[in-house]
Amino acid sequence: METVKDYFASLVFDDRVMKATLSDEIYDSLKKTIEEGSEPNIGVANAVAAAMKDWAVSKGATHYTHWFQPLTGITAEKHDSFISPSTDGGVIMEFSGKELIKGEPDASSFPNGGLRTTFEARGYTAWDPTSYAFIKDKTLCIPTAFCSYSGHALDKKTPLLRSMAALNKQALRILRLFGNNSTKRVTGYVGPEQEYFLITKEMYEKRPDLCFTGRTLFGAKPPKGQEMGDHYFGVIKPKAAAFMEELDEELWKLGILAKTEHNEVAPAQYELAPIYTTANIATDHNQLTMEIMQKVAAKHGLVCLLHEKPFAGINGSGKHNNWSIATDTGQNLLSPGETPYENAQFLLFLCAVIKAVDDYQDLLRISVATAGNDCRLGASEAPPAVVSVFLGDELNAVLEAIETDTPYKGAEKTRMKLGVDVLPGFNRDTTDRNRTSPFAFTGNKFEFRMLGSSNSIACANIMLNSAVAESLRIYADRLEGEKDFETALHSMIRNTIKDHKRIIFNGNGYDENWIREATEKRGLLNFRTTADCMPHLLDKKNMDMLISHGVFTEAELKSRYEIMLENYCKTIVIEANTMVNMAKTQIVPAIEAYAADTAKAAASKKSLDFTLVCGYETGVVRKLSALADLIASKAEELETALISLDKAEDIGAKSVMIRDTVLGLMSELRIPCDEAETITAKNYWPMPTYADLLFGIK
């Protein structure tokens, strides 16, 4: 019987396969390319391409594709077969190093934000040897970066790789100051927890809002939601369990380290968590995970919803980005050490993160900004739009002791030349997980909880890597050349704590009092919507930092501002148009049909006994008639507002009009529709209700 160990990564051209299929010379050269980031020469590329092709064909593959991540938020691929004509009229299977290294997909219809003109359709994909090739649906998929003819990045992977290089460069400078000359590379590691909903395909297809937008735009509160907490970590229902079993198998074949799965808080909501890997591979794997979730769900008669808020009034879905940094020797730089000197290093890296989050809280908010996530942030199950850092009581006490230059009142104490008593070794996991914090330290990593479930994790990790690299650069610039390193180090840590303690909050992030304190007393930012935060991408401090580290060019940043706001606007316009259509063609006709039949029933009763008052029927008809008129009126208002968007001067002005007018009108239209659902007979209502959707899986 085949075991998981037998088939794990069986569809991946990984290190094991490379060792078995490449010569020692080629293998060593490729490993050097991967580890040092150098370009592979054509001889190595030819040898790797031939081995890849032979391996893929042996697994049943007939095509190859450069698999990339354009600015659509999903992946893209163009398939080419391995076949080439032979002289005898047949075909041979070929794949060259040139084809491996570079591809030329048509870039004309991918978002570019002005990075190219209409007639410049050409784009290039470039092999990323740091991420293993894999087979999907009989196609060899080669992870690649994607750029324009002029060399601008048109994808999410290129800036992610650049940010990883920036973090590595600055972290190595800090390690050298601590006498570490053996580490050759520092890498960001990520473990993204993925939340999602499962509903039946039959019900999904009866909901135009789900089909067009991924979320319900109408829906009255069901008699039961998540109040009892009986779904969270409960027994997994057979149909969901069968889906999870096949999902695990498909992910494991692709080398994706799916580890933990369970019921989440809301009915029909679940979570999948993988084991950590490097940020770029974690990004690739998460994109694959979302794709495979939807494919496997379809095979089981289900639909996997990845929208951040598919149902109003119950928990939405996030993607918790667990981030840490580690050396190539296996040292986690966010893990407390065993000696005071190791803890000094830990504290400096910790302070670098705290400084980064405070200095670039706007960029972290921007990195998770989508129309869908705007629906989720600030709700009871999600962190607020205000960014803060949770450290826990013990670590917070250590930082306070350093700031005030007083002994840390912990257990065993050791004097070190930082001028303060500290533990020789902090205990891991000394803090409870703060589920209300946007950015929480959890023992040896930070959990960034603001990401939405459909987000690519690339954006958040680009900003996080870059911001921390900037903190480390400032530290290294100041510490290099200092004669009294330990005194300068102590001063650096102490000043960081003093200057950035406003970002540290260990309380309840859901509390409205905290939001007032954060904004009014601490001066923290509170960008409630994408329209609020996105313009700050182009703030001088943000552009200067990202450009100085080579993560983006000025043109690339301006393009992303345009693309992300355009996506925000298009998403909400589609939602609003869907609401108008459903209200006019489904909801109002259903209300009127039920009202008419109820009126007929009242008339029939009266014809039998003219003394009957028929108060119930009359009340229902009057209420439904009033609601139908109100819905029709609100639909007209929303439609008019959508037409007026064409008058906006630019995408920024359009996003503000949507934020200030369209969103409010959408809410006003939904309220009477949801009320009408509660008094319209179920067999008249034109779509499955929340009760049907949330409790439809047995």
Q: Which two tokens stand for residue 559?
A: 């393009």
pLDDT in tens, 491-517: 999 999 999 999 999 988 888 899 999
* Strands 186-200 and 302-305, bridge-based pairing: antiparallel
For the cut 70, the answer to whether the pLDDT of residue 464 exceeds it is yes
Asked if 516 and 543 sit in the same domain, the reply is yes
Q: Which of 101, 129, 155 is the last residue in one of the domains?
A: 155
Q: Which of 155, 172, 192 is the last residue in one of the domains?
A: 155
For the cut 60, the answer to whether the pLDDT of residue 34 exceeds it is yes
Asked if 67 and 178 sit in the same domain, the reply is no
> Residue 199 belongs to a domain with what CATH number?
3.30.590.10
Asked if 386 and 244 sit in the same domain, the reply is yes
Taking the C-alpha atoms of residue 278 and residue 143, their distance in angstroms, rounded to an integer, is 14
Quote the distance between the C-alpha of residue 132 and its chain's center: 22
Average pLDDT across the chain, whole number:
90
Asked if 130 and 227 sit in the same domain, the reply is no
For the cut 90, the answer to whether the pLDDT of residue 438 exceeds it is yes
Region 228-257: what's the mean pLDDT? 91
pLDDT in tens, 88-125: 666 567 888 899 988 876 656 676 666 655 555 667 88
> Residue 117 belongs to a domain with what CATH number?
3.10.20.70
Q: Which of 82, 103, 101 is nearest to 44 (CA)?
A: 101
Asked if 57 and 192 sit in the same domain, the reply is no
Query: What percent of the chain is predicted at pLDDT more than 70?
Result: 90
Q: Provide the domain count of the chain.
A: 3
Asked if 221 and 361 sit in the same domain, the reply is yes
Q: What residues are paired with 70 via a beta bridge?
A: 155
Asked if 613 and 529 sit in the same domain, the reply is no
pLDDT of residue 397: 84
Q: What residues are paired with 637 via a beta bridge?
A: none
For the cut 80, the answer to whether the pLDDT of residue 179 exceeds it is yes
pLDDT of residue 121: 60
Region 463-467: what's the mean pLDDT? 98
Q: What residues are paired with 421 via a beta bridge?
A: 415
pLDDT of residue 629: 97
Distances (CA, A) of 159 to 26, 93, 496: 28, 34, 28
Asked if 141 and 227 sit in the same domain, the reply is no
For the cut 60, the answer to whether the pLDDT of residue 321 exceeds it is yes
Q: Return left, alpha or beta for 330; rule: phi > 0 is left, psi -120 to 50 is alpha, else beta.
A: left
Taking the C-alpha atoms of residue 67 and residue 78, their distance in angstroms, rounded to an integer, is 8
Task: Judge whether 560 lies within some domain.
Answer: no
Q: Which of 384, 397, 389, 216 is nearest to 312 (CA)?
A: 216
Task: Judge whether 559 lies within some domain.
Answer: no
More confident residue, 444 or 431: 444
Asked if 494 and 625 sit in the same domain, the reply is no
Quote the distance between the C-alpha of residue 629 and its chain's center: 41
Task: Judge whether 26 lies within some domain.
Answer: yes
CB-based burial of residue 390 (10 Å sphere; 0-12 exposed, 13-18 middle, 19+ buried)?
buried
pTM, two decimal places: 0.92
Asked if 114 and 59 sit in the same domain, the reply is yes
**What are φ and ψ of residue 650, in 5° steps?**
-155, 180
pLDDT of residue 417: 47
How confident is residue 394, by pLDDT bands cut at 50, 70 and 90? confident
pLDDT of residue 614: 63
Q: Which of 527, 552, 577 is the last residue in one of the domains?
A: 552
Q: Which two tokens stand for residue 479?
A: 């510490």
Torsion sign, CA atoms 412, 417, 418, 424: negative
Taking the C-alpha atoms of residue 678 and residue 671, their distance in angstroms, rounded to an integer, is 11
Indicate the residue type of 397: A
Task: Judge whether 106 lies within some domain.
Answer: yes
Task: Judge whether 558 lies within some domain.
Answer: no
Q: What residues are paired with 263 via a beta bridge?
A: 270
How confident is residue 233, by pLDDT bands cut at 50, 70 and 90? confident
Domain interval for residue 139: 4-155
More confident residue, 524 or 602: 524
pLDDT in tens, 405-423: 777 665 454 444 454 455 4
Taking the C-alpha atoms of residue 33 and residue 591, their distance in angstroms, rounded to an integer, is 66
Region 602-626: what's the mean pLDDT? 75
Asked if 595 and 677 sit in the same domain, the reply is yes
Taking the C-alpha atoms of residue 457 and residue 446, their distance in angstroms, rounded to an integer, is 14
Asked if 225 and 96 sit in the same domain, the reply is no
